[in-house]
Structure 1
Amino acid sequence: MKRQPDRTGSLAGVGEALGQSEVFLGFQERLSRVAQINRPVLLIGERGTGKELAAARLHFLSNRWQEPLVALNCSALTPSLMESELFGHEKGAFTG
């Protein structure tokens, strides 16, 4: 028997709203709209601005919420590895 994940609980830990300013609430609304689009999303911003919280909220609100969420720190990758991680590569493209 396959266990179904529970989405009825709190959003705590997955981007629960931490502010009530007009700008912040507008951002939360945009996240909700973007979550309905079945496309990859790249979040950029300064360190400590909540990119991972935003990614978790996007994932939770998306149709793929039951699938794993993979967070990737692109600054830790070389340009060639980043391209491969983001866009994939053909079998045999790397040697070694």
Structure 2
Amino acid sequence: METEDDSCVGEALRAAPAVQAGPAALESLIVGASPAIRGLRQLVRQVAPSDASVLLVGPSGSGKEVVARAIHAQSRRASKPFVAINCGAIPRDLLESELFGHEKGSFTGAFAQHKGRFEEADGGTLFLDEIG
């Protein structure tokens, strides 16, 4: 039986469409020819080879996930999963379980083992959206 909290979690988790890798992928993910867009593509090329965490800041709908997917596509992690999670849509009391997973019986209602998003993204990219 699915609870209201379960359906909220389901809506919050988005299946990541396949991300193509390589230079052509960057042009198809970040479209435009303005100086600002060319500068953004250059920043993506500079950041992608690094294993450092990246903080993307901007208002809702500004394209942070698109940029994150572009960085992922240009990185050594491109063949691994890109996992996006909208943290703002997950109830506070379920967020820890969604991120880190849980074992069967670890709390009331934990009827089965659940992989966390960190484990799902193993070796790939975890994009945490709406964390503020």
TM normalised by structure 1 equals 0.64
The one of 12, 17, 25 equivalent to 1:11 is: 25
SS of aligned partner of 2:25: coil
Q: 1:27 to 1:46 in 2, by over 3 A?
A: same
RMSD after superposition: 3.3
Tell me the CA shift for residue 18 of structure 1. Answer: 1.4
Q: 1:53 to 1:29 in 2, by over 3 A?
A: same
SS of aligned partner of 1:47: coil
Equivalent-residue separation in structure 1 for 2:51 and 2:41 (angstroms): 18
Structure with the largest fraction of helix? 2
Equivalent-residue separation in structure 1 for 2:28 and 2:84 (angstroms): 13
Aligned: 1:32 with 2:18? no
Where structure 2 has 5 or more consecutive residues not aligned to the other structure, the ranges are 1-19, 109-132
Q: Which residue of 2 aligns with 1:95?
A: 107
Deviations 1:43-68 (CA, angstroms, capped at 9, x unpaired)? 23222212221111111100011101
SS of aligned partner of 2:72: helix
Letter of the structure 2 residue corresponding to residue 56 of structure 1? R
Q: 1:69 to 1:57 in 2, by over 3 A?
A: same
Structure with the largest fraction of strand? 2
Where structure 1 has 5 or more consecutive residues not aligned to the other structure, the ranges are 1-5
Aligned residue pairs, count: 87
Q: 1:44 to 1:7 in 2, by over 3 A?
A: closer
Check the 8 A contact 1:34/1:58 in 2, yes or no. yes
